[in-house]
Amino acid sequence: MRDWLSHRAAATPDDLAVIDADTDTRWSYSGLDAAVDETAGRLANLGVDAGDQVGTLLPRTFLGVCLLHAAQRLGVTLVPLNHRLTAEELAAQIDQLELTLVVCDIDTEPAAVEAVEEVPIASVDEPQWAAVKSFKDVEPAAIEPVEWQREEPQLIVFTSGSTGRPKPVVLTMGNLLSSAIASAFRLGVDPADRWLLTLSLYHVGGIAPIFRSTLYGTAVVVRSDFDPGQAADDLDRYDVTVVSLVPTMLKQMLDRRGTLSDSLRVVLLGGAPADDALLQRCENYSVPVHPTYGMTETASQVATARPTDAFDRPGTVGRPLLWTEVTVLGDNDEPVAPGESGELVVSGPTVTPGYYGEDGEAFCPYGLRTGDIGYRTEDGSLFVVNRIDDRITSGGETIDPGAIVAVLTDHAAIEAAAVVGVPDEQWGERVTALVVSTDDDLSAEAVDSHCREHLAGFKCPKTSVFADELPRTASGSVDRPAVREAVTAAIEDASVAAEPDTDVDDADETEPPIESVDAAAVDDDDDGEPGIADRRPPSPMSPAEEPTTTPTDTEPIPDAESDAVNDDAASGADDDAAPDVDDDATDNSDGE
């Protein structure tokens, strides 16, 4: 099999392949094919051969798209590096690889020069260092597309490292091919599809649609920056039918425009769990949201829900995709019954053969251990509760915070909550909660008695701290270290809202966990899955950075009133009332 673009350009040369929204340029498949041939020819003349690894440090541009196809054409393993890393972080990643060339631009050149030793660097802009070559000045060599075997490595993508050191994931041609087919099997394909690229080109969720659309013969719309208002406008302007978003991005787009374009067929929502309020907004405004669970190690989607599933059962990520199997392993590493939670283990043709340069310790006989805790219902719907590493050990018991968050957010006056363990002399770890309440009068005692009604005593937060909002990472998942800090600071300040008498817990210490709780556990905002989060999580958004908007237009609407308000907001007439967020706020939340 040659690069997919070669086959596509031969089959439907005149069809639309790419819209470059930065320059408002349209590329047919034959036009894209020629641009990719030129890009591949330059790589070849820079000394790149089949089987080599080429690193890129580039934003999401048309040239970035060309480089992905060019690597496939040349038989090269592309290593898209995170252009936001510091030189030191980059050097740590590059040291694990065997790069033949690094392609940078004017913004990433300094980091490339500092991080890279003995690997040639080429810049797609005017080089600033003498040692750096000008990519565009290289004469393109004539090249022949290389034949691929399915097991050959097409990409090495680093995990985001939100839960540890970023790891280099090898993705084969077969992984990407299986993912493209399985994704289409779940989402469907319309010949008129246009996929707006919103995620970075160094994340698998950003790369996958580029290869996919070539296989499907559909188009992608590429825009280098993510601005929520502009992205929402792009949906209309370019008749976009599919878009991948992390929850924060979707929230911001809805804040700006009330609803999204009617042209949309699929909003693929992943990288972090979608909370109930966001799903409710999608239902109210007929946004075709498809909550998805995926990871770098599986070339993106593992399971994806359709809108009806998502609205009927908030929190579900639906059933596993075609050919993908998810096994839930209990504490003894044996599969558990539906409803019981355990570690999610994934197998199938999209699963990576392994991390580059590492042994297979992430694999068990059932497949790849994800480090995520979740459960499946009788009908096979998957729920992801939290990361294994997020579990709390208190009084000798292992506690999943997701189950406690689910109980807390069931309280009518609690909008959001995060549960973490903080070190405690008596308990090992102490279960603590950061609670966002809609009712200023809600007391810690009331929170405690609500928990005690639904949870075994040892699971009930021993300390509840109130906050205006939860600290979050770029992808919208709860920033657990920041929660821990906030709670610890509150405890130290003794400005803790209240500490229920811990004595009553002693009796509970040995009580077994209540099984039924897990089945009801819907992780609505507590995650930490290997997500889209930036390697350097931005500071939590302060209230001032939250997009401002007219609350009546965008807040979730109580059931009884939803019809009445829908029409107003759907007109999108609130543009003027919703000032654009400044660049910083956008930067903090673009999921990159």
Ligand X SMILES: O=C(O)CCC(=O)c1ccccc1C(=O)O
Q: Which residues bind ligand X (CB under 6 A)?
A: 204-205, 208, 244, 246, 268, 270-271, 292, 294-296, 300-301, 530-532
By CB atoms closer than 10 A (0-12, 13-18, 19+), residue 501 is exposed
CB of 2 to ligand X, least distance (A): 25
CA 26 – CA 110 distance, rounded (Å):
32
Nearer CB in complex with ligand X: 317/436: 317
Nearer to ligand X, 549 or 588 (CB): 588
Task: Output the smallest distance, CB 525 to ligand X, in A.
Answer: 15
d(CA 292, CA 317): 5
Is 62 or 293 the residue whose CB approaches ligand X more closely?
293
The CB-of-91 to ligand X minimum distance in angstroms stands at 23
Contact (CB, 8 A) for 356 and 96: yes
Written as six digits, the tokens of 406 are 């689910």
DSSP 454-509: HS-GGGS-SEEEE-SS--B-TTSSB-HHHHHHHHHHHHHHT--SB---GGGGGGGT
Residue (183 or 381) nearer to ligand X, CB: 183
In terms of CB distance, is 296 or 386 closer to ligand X? 296
Kindly tell me which of 367 and 395 has the beta carbon lying closer to ligand X.
Answer: 367
CB of 301 to ligand X, least distance (A): 4
CB of 270 to ligand X, least distance (A): 3
Range 564-572, long-range pairs (CB < 8 A, 24+ positions): 565/284, 566/284, 566/285, 566/286, 568/258, 569/258, 569/259, 569/285, 570/258, 570/259, 570/285, 570/286, 571/258, 572/257, 572/258, 572/259
Is 468:436 a contact under the CB 8 Å cutoff? yes
d(CA 125, CA 466): 49
User: For residues 71-91, b (16+ Cβ closer than 10 Å) or e, as one string?
Assistant: bbbbbbbbbbbbbbbebebbe
Q: Which is nearer to ligand X, 244 or 261 (CB)?
A: 244
Residue 37 or 372: which CB sits closer to ligand X? 372
CB of 300 to ligand X, least distance (A): 3
Q: How far is the CB of 216 from ligand X (least distance, A)?
A: 14
Q: How far is the CB of 158 from ligand X (least distance, A)?
A: 10
Segment holding 385, helix H or strand E: strand 382-387
Token pair 């999608």 in the structure block, residue: 282
Give the CB-nearest residue to ligand X.
Answer: 205
